[in-house]
Amino acid sequence: MSSYRVIDKQTYYRKGVFRHFSEDCKCSTSMTARVDVTELVKWSKENGTKFYINFLYLLTRVLNSREDYRMGYLWQTGELICYDQINPTQYVFHEDTETCTPVYTTYTPDYALFYRNALADVEKAKQTREYGLDAANHPNWFDASFIPWLSYDSLNIELPDGHLYFAPIVNWGKYREENGRLMMPVSVRLNHAIADGYLIAKVFLLLEKEIAALCKH
């Protein structure tokens, strides 16, 4: 079950921006930047854990840290809402069919519990070849997709301008060595009605902070 609170559009701190980008100029905004994952790769290997799930945990932790990243829109009632929590929809790629299966993993701040659950969710999804997307019953889930075949420089997710879709869409690619550091491309897309360049840039800054904090343990 998802829980949320309704935002008063008249007192919403982004009131003017929200109105403009939800009525006059419906659009999303996205940004790609390279994140230094050198220490996270090292920490993952030293602890015998999967880098992918560790990054997924930190990303989800970041996106739950601010209300701006947990926004939603109920088109049935026209209400702007903020979810108490958002969870990642990750994906399993099947080499034999070259298709993927969505994996719904529930977020918990408890790293060890999240890691176990995410790993189990992935293993379960490997047993099917069904697409199995069920967005209607997962309103407070966001897209978190790994693109392991390429260390790309930019990525753009296109959505119809008329659709007020507020959940984050995050992609990341293969990391590569640059000047002795492992740099990984990360792309973050948010609707412009509820986020701007600052808020998207903040995702990257918070990721760096969370990576450093985890790797100290």
pLDDT tens sequence across 72-81: 999 899 999 9
Count how many residues are written for the chain. Answer: 217
Residue 126: C-alpha distances to residues 37, 53, 94, 123 (Å): 27, 15, 7, 5
Distance CA 140, CA 89 (A): 10
Distance CA 78, CA 19 (A): 13
Structure tokens at 10: 């008249």
Q: What is the pTM of this model?
A: 0.96
Mean pLDDT score of the chain, rounded to an integer? 95
Least confident of 64-68, 90-94, 155-159: 155-159
- For residue 174, what is the domain's CATH number? 3.30.559.10
Using the predicted structure, report yes or no on whether residue 127 has a pLDDT greater than 90.
yes
* 202: containing domain: 4-214
- Give the residue, 204 or 163, on which the prediction is more confident: 204
Number of domains the chain contains: 1
Distance CA 175, CA 172 (A): 9
Mean pLDDT of 161-187: 94
pLDDT at 217: 78
Structure tokens at 188: 């973050």
pLDDT at 149: 97
Using the predicted structure, report yes or no on whether residue 53 has a pLDDT greater than 70.
yes
Cβ(22)–Cβ(7) under 8 Å? Answer: no
